[in-house]
Homo-oligomer: A and B are copies of this chain.
Amino acid sequence: MGYNKTMLDSKNNLKTFFNPRSIAIVGVTEKEGKVGNVVAKNILNIGYGGEVFLVNPKHKELFGRRCYSSLEEINEKVDLAIIIIPAKFVNNTIKNAADKVKNFAIISAGFSEMGEKGKKRENELAKLAEKNNLNILGPNCLGFINPKIKLNASFAGGMPEMGNIALISQSGALAVGFMDAAEKEGIKFSNLISIGNKARINETDLIKYFSGDESTKAIAVYIEGIKNGREFMKITEKVSAKKPIIILKAGKTEKARKAIVSHTGALAGSSEIINAVFEKAGILRADNLENFFDLIKLASNSSISKNKEAIIITNAGGPGVLTADAFGGKEIKLAKIGDKTKKELKSFLPDESSVENPIDLLGDAQEDRYKKTLKIASQENAGMIICVLTPQDQTPCEKIAHEIIDFKNKTGKTTITVFIGGKKIIKALDILRENNIPNFSFPEKAVKVLDKYYKWSACDASALIQKEKINKERQEKTLDIIEKAKAENRDALLFSEAKEIMDLYGISVVKAVNLDSRRSLSAGLADGNDIEGTENSIDKEKNGIIANENDMEVKFPVAVKVDSDKILHKTDRQGVILNIKNQEELKVAIGKMEDSFPGENIIIQPMLEIQTELILGIKKDAVFGPIIVCGLGGIYTEIFKTVEFFIPPMNTEKIKKRLAKSKLGFLFKETRGQKSYNIENLAGIILKLAQLAIEIREIKEFDINPLLIYNNGKETKAVDIKIII
């Protein structure tokens, strides 16, 4: 949309936006139920202490206050204007006031969400904002709420308690439901913001702003789409190093996407790419709305341990087992209880208790059993304590809650509860909530959020940030090759061109001989029919070597392939003949190719030993730019989708880490007596592709398929290379 990101960022005057000393409300009305009425009341009646100006040209007075005919009429400083007028008047109103007011929250709908006319209107608005360097929230949003200054600049009712979560929502309706539900869950907000159509201020701007907001401990974002993915990645990487960003991204289920030519491109679903981006940036991705709530609840109420071990203390056998079950496949682990601790526990717990983890205090446990057990367990290294309880006969739920609170306050360990029940635990839950102990009504969700939050805390934030480097010389040489092909009206490079680029980037490619050059070598024969006689003798002389060009020797068995920008799916179109064992077969194969693809270039490659085939490529994501895709190749590529994504820029260490953790990780372990493959080597190739992707934005799609890798010391080789420009 051509709006100048840098200017908005450099100003960073969002502090005034969200903490205005004066507000003008444009479109105030006394008509009950109208948005202009609700917003005015929210600002005037809930406790906001700044100056408020009402604007409505049809009135002189509203709510017993002076009413201005326009923003320009106000002689005092206006930090923020809230716009609640019909869409068709919005742009003009802003234009006229752009010298006076720099911050606008546009609640009015009727923009890009409403057809072509609306889109045009929003474009104009964005240009207006850019030209005048305006901060604009919305349009088509709910507004925002800043509990710290008791400012409800929205048409949602109420004023949540002040807290430490900044909630940014692309859905106003969700924010409203969230706010209502948050109270009973003990979630409190530093700010709630509905971002609407994001004509100017988007999620990235707000994440950046709240990273510097002291009262915000964690940033929670609900988004349906991400604007300017590269900028988003740059900012979130930095912010994640300071505080957790929790994102619920809607739109996981994809509708049909446009046809993609490259193989790796088709392997990359947008949800997997989001996963890769979020992981790289250290973002906590919520699986679903419930998980989003749970993550926010935990972040709002608790710090997270850097020790990955947890102890479960329970008065209920079954729920204890279920909590332990939930650790399956998680990074956090059940602690092994030390012998000293076990002995001390046994000294006072009944015989039937279990002093293994979960520690089972039995159904008749009173608060003293919890108290003593918590105290003794605190000598273990485990950083997390999960207290499980069901309200059994005479279980003193509230007293136990107090013991848990005491323990948390004394030890500072990450302490959460899983109290399971209804009426019998209501009071205990109130006590826990008031004391910032998050309770989860089911064990599995508790363990899930602990695990996610732990992963964020354990990831080395400083290692997240990578910078792009450009090799100018290599870039220019590569661009020359591409320009030449473009000049010939080709959308794809020939094998020889692709190989040249691979040489520049240091990726080894299997040798190939052009049929044409071979012909000229073969004593100037003019057409294929005459090749036979002469060639046989040449080949025999050369002892099985069928061609020798630029020091490359190609021996049987060989493959014959058509090499043309017009035939991109060679295999599907029978443009590849493999396993050609002798001259006779070669002759037949070349004949077939020339029949099928008259006039097209044909290449001959040696057949290499296959140990493991990979498929490697560059996918150009519409949001996040180039992404390196690496997967297992061969017949099961589509079936198992053993694919991993790498977001440039990255360094070798990060690539290696990700490879080792990925579904391809098995290649780099000794398994069943099989040697491991060279992770350093593959990481190096991925890094080279990442550099290619960064340096040559002109490449639309890129595939190496297959890349042959070996665990017997042989050199890795790219076989087929497809470069779409």
Contact = CB atoms under 8 A, between A and B. Distances in A.
Interface of A: 33, 38, 109, 113-114, 155-157, 169-174, 176-178, 180-185, 222, 224, 248, 250-253, 287-290, 293, 315-319, 321-322, 324-328, 351-352, 363, 390-394, 420-425, 441-445, 572, 635-636, 638-640, 642, 666, 671-674
Given A180-B420, A640-B640, 19 more contacts: A113-B352, A156-B392, A171-B316, A171-B319, A173-B315, A173-B317, A173-B318, A173-B319, A174-B319, A174-B420, A176-B391, A177-B319, A180-B390, A180-B423, A181-B420, A183-B422, A253-B327, A288-B322, A289-B319
Contacts of A674: 635
Nearest to A315: B173
A114 to B, nearest CB: 6
Contact of A444 (B33, B109, B288, B423): B288
Given A322-B289, A445-B290, A421 B33 contact: no
Contacts of A351: 114
A445 B292 CA distance: 13
Given A173-B315, A288-B322, A391-B177, A572 B252 contact: no
A416 to B, nearest CB: 16
Contacts of A318: 169-171, 173-174, 222, 224, 250
Given A171-B316, A316-B177, A250 B392 contact: no
A252 B328 contact: yes
Given A109-B352, A252-B328, A352-B113, A157 B317 contact: no
21 contacts: A172-B392, A174-B316, A174-B319, A176-B363, A176-B391, A177-B316, A181-B441, A182-B422, A183-B422, A184-B422, A184-B423, A250-B318, A250-B322, A251-B325, A253-B324, A253-B327, A288-B443, A289-B322, A289-B420, A572-B673, A636-B640
Contacts of A38: 393
A77 B393 CA distance: 31
Given A109-B352, A640-B640, A251 B321 contact: yes
A645 to B, nearest CB: 19
A464 to B, nearest CB: 28
A184 B293 CA distance: 20
Contact of A352 (B114, B394, B443, B636): B114
Contacts of A315: 173
Contacts of A392: 156, 172-173, 176
